[in-house]
Every structure is written in structure tokens, then in C-alpha cells.
Structure 1
Amino acid sequence: MINKRDLLALASDCFEAAKEAFISTGEPVTISAIAKNLGIDRKYFYGRIKMSDATVRGKWINLGREIREFKAQAKEKKCINDSKVLDDAGKLRNALVENYALTESVEHLKEVSEQLKKNFLMAQQKVAELEAQIIEFQRQKLSQVPSAQTSIVRHLCSVISPDSFRKDADPLSMKKGWLAAMARLRSIIDTPGNKDLYITVGAPGSGKSSWCRKSIAFNKVSILFDACNLTKSDRYDFFDLLIGRPGIRIIAVVFCVSLDTLRDRNQNRVIGERLPFKKIKEMYESIEYPSHFDQLEVFDEIIMVR
């Protein structure tokens, strides 16, 4: 059986062996590791084991102190050596690692942003469906009142604008806004009853939004799609949507404003809402005005606003 003195000697030998291992392998020297190798309680090194011989107990405490001091010195020395070894290549390597971590973080934020945009679009589509249900409920309620009041059904006003569905001005956000607006228009058109669909045609600053607000105030229209709709290609979606849907009149509201007026109105806008004049000029010059003689896009009515 190993006595306390022999055990202390074994612990000292184990400490010496651990120091040599640290020099060759860098393996840290700790009280826990030495205690584990000996199969003893680490309390020996702190003098917390009852012993009849106070001298032996003191040696255990001193040995534990030596181990902790060696560990602290080794750690300090390693930090100094590490700082010396960290040359330009090492710094560059660390910078690349940090940059990679930041890139991953940015990519994650982009994914979160895209998901939020998808959720927003889905929410807008759900709102469109609910609005269509409300309109249908109103029509059903109105159909139950005396015939003298049924003419009100035609004047229920729904204004749709792609701008209200987007948060950014980049091409992808604008395309998503257009698709969401068309989805809302489709849900309203699918409800029973005759309807008038008004399509605004005009460059930014031509007065489309002001005309729309007045129309809302006086309930002059049943459906109003507020967008530039400058070319026949832009307006194709509306005619394609109305195929097989009788009882819907489509009216073009054309805003005839000079380029100088557009420039002045743009300058009077708040800075965040202004467009580059070059962009306004390009849009103005791209306008394809509707015509009663056109064989491809046949409007039931064309309203000119000056």
C-alpha cells in the first residue's frame, strides 16, 4: 500500500514529467491533469485532505503552488511567443477569417431580409383577398336593399397602386410591387358585378395621384389602377386580365403635361421623392398614347387630363 509520503514523491515525479511534456508538446500543466494521472483527489494539492503529519500536508500545498505558478508562467510565456510569431502573414490570415465571418453574417442578414420581403408580399396578397371579400359582402348587402339604392354598387371605389406594395426602388422590388398590385386587381375583378376599370397613363409628376385622390373623395370610379402605364407593353397585362370577364369597361386616363411642367413639379417635391430629370425625360419620350383607332388595345373610353 502506498503511504502519503510515497504518494507525494509520485506527485512530484509526475509534475516533472508534465513539465518535460509541456516543453516538447505544449500540453498544459494543471493540477487536475496530475491528479487524474495519479488517480487521486486534487484536494491533496490544496491541503484539504486530513493528514496526521502537518509537514507532509505543507509539502502538498507547496507542490500545488509550484504547479499553479508554472502554469501561469507558461501561459504568460506562450502569449509573448504568440505575439512574436504573429507576423504579417498571420495578421492577414486572421483578417481573412474575420472577413469570412462578416461575409457569412451579411449573407444571413440578406436571407432574413428576403424572407421578410416575401412575408410582406404574402401579407399584401392576403389583404387583397380580404378586401375582395369585403367588397363582395357589401355588394350582397346592397343587393338586398330597394332598387333605388342599388346604383351605389357601381361607385364602390378601389384604388390600386404598385408603389404601395414595394419598399425599395430597385427593379426587383418594383417588379414584385407590380405583381402584388395585379394580384389585388384580379381578386377584385373576380367578384360579381359590372365594373369600370380606370388605368392612368402619364409620366411621374403629371398629376396622376392628385386625380386619384379627387376620384376617391367623390367616389367617381369603381376600380382605379394608379401607375405610369406608359407603353402598350405596360398596359397589355390589363387587357390580358379581362379576357373572358364580361361586364368590365376599361378606361384610359391620359395625363397630357409638358416636359417643362414635369421638371418644375419634380423640383417642388421633397428631396427623397425627386427623380433625376434624365429619367423623367426618358419616360416622357417613351409614352405611347392610347388611341380610339388602335386595333390592339381597345379602350372603352379615353379621358384626357390637362
Structure 2
Amino acid sequence: MTGRLWTPERNRDAALAAAASPADVIIVCGVPGSGKRTWARTAAGERPAAILFDAALPGRRHRQPVIEAARQHGARVSAVWIDGPLVVALNRNAARSHDKVVPEARLRAVFAGFELPSHEEGFDEIRIVGR
């Protein structure tokens, strides 16, 4: 094998290790089509030193590795849950380019099984955006 091996874990660790000092880590979670990327782009301009994770991360088990890695680097960890109606996410998803559409069954499954972020997971702050 040649070249770099990319894994989500290496990507996460590299982003945290690149921070010059303990940073704010913000996990932006919600269903596909909820507006995570739009929120993250705005936040990145307002908080350029923060490390943002923009992904569905629908359950505790999905968020825990990021929280643990952030804590190992002395970072403060916040969650931003982009909340909204399923119909809005479905409409936005349908309007995406063909290569970016999430299968509807998967989007519905993420919506149905989404676990709300909680302080028990290790978040210092939780913000709900939407509704």
C-alpha cells in the first residue's frame, strides 16, 4: 500500500492535534438536510479557532469518540443540535445534487433513532438550533 491511509479516527485526531492550544470543539449534529453545513459555515467565520465536526452523529456511540479525543487534548466540547421537521430535511435532501442525496430510508432511520445530545455524554454546553 502506498500513500496515506485515511480513517475517520486519524482525521479526528489530526484536527485536534493541529490546534495550537486547547480549543473549543463543536459537534454539529442532526439529520441529513437539517442545515448542519449552513450553521457550521456561519460558525466557522464567527469562531475561527473552534474545531467543528459537521456530521449526523445521531447517537451517543457516534459522538463519544470525538468527545473522548477532544478531552484528551484539553478541549472544551459543545454540541449544537440542528433540530427541524422531517419534511424539511426530506425536501432539502431531494433538492441536492444526485451524488449528495442521502437515501430516503436512511434519512428516515436517522431521524427516528436520533438520540438527543446530553451533558451525561460529556458536553460542556448543548445548544439547540431550529424549531
Which of residues 183, 188, 198 in structure 1 aligns to 2:18?
Answer: 188
1:201 aligns with one of 29, 34, 37: 29
Rounded Cα–Cα distance in structure 2 between residues aligned with 1:207 and 1:200 = 10
Q: Determine what percentage of the aligned residue pairs are the same residue.
A: 26
Give 5+ residue unaligned stretches, structure 1. 1-114, 123-164, 166-175
Matched, 1:265 2:92: yes
For 2:92 and 2:37, the matched residues in 1 are separated by: 13
Q: Quote how far apart the aligned CAs of 1:221 are.
A: 5.1
Specify the code of the residue in structure 2 equivalent to 1:182.
R
Runs ≥4 in structure 1, deviation > 4 angstroms? none
The structure 1 residue matched to 2:45, chosen from 217, 235, 247, is: 217
- Structure 1 residues 273-288: aligned runs within 5 Å: 273-288=100-115
1:298 aligns with 2:113: no
- Deviating more after overlay: 221-230 vs 278-287: 221-230
**Which residue is 1:232 aligned to?**
60
* 1-structure distance, mates of 2:14, 2:73: 16
Question: Which ranges of structure 2 fall in alignment gaps of 5 or more residues?
Answer: none
Q: Which amino acid in 2 is paired with 1:290?
A: P
- Normalized per residue, the structure richer in helix is 1
Alpha-carbon shift at residue 239 of structure 1 (Å): 2.7
Shift in Å, 1:299:
0.9
User: Residue type matched to 1:180 in 2?
Assistant: R
Conserved 8 A contact 1:249-1:300: yes
CA distance in structure 2 between the aligned counterparts of 1:222 and 1:266, rounded to whole angstroms: 27
Q: Which residue is equivalent to 1:61?
A: none
Q: Which has the higher contact order (CA 8 A, sep 6+)?
A: 2
Partner Cα separation in structure 1 for residue 55 and residue 66 of structure 2: 12
TM-score scaled by length of structure 1: 0.39
TM-score, scaled to structure 2: 0.85
Deviations 1:98-141 (A, max 9, x none): xxxxxxxxxxxxxxxxx4xx52x35xxxxxxxxxxxxxxxxxxx
Aligned-residue CA RMSD in angstroms? 2.1
Contact 1:196 1:249 in 2 (8 A): yes
Length, aligned pairs only: 130
Distance 1:186 1:245, change over 3 A: closer
Identify which of 249, 252, 264 aligns with 2:76.
249
Larger radius of gyration: 1
Worse-matched range after superposition: 201-210 or 179-188: 179-188
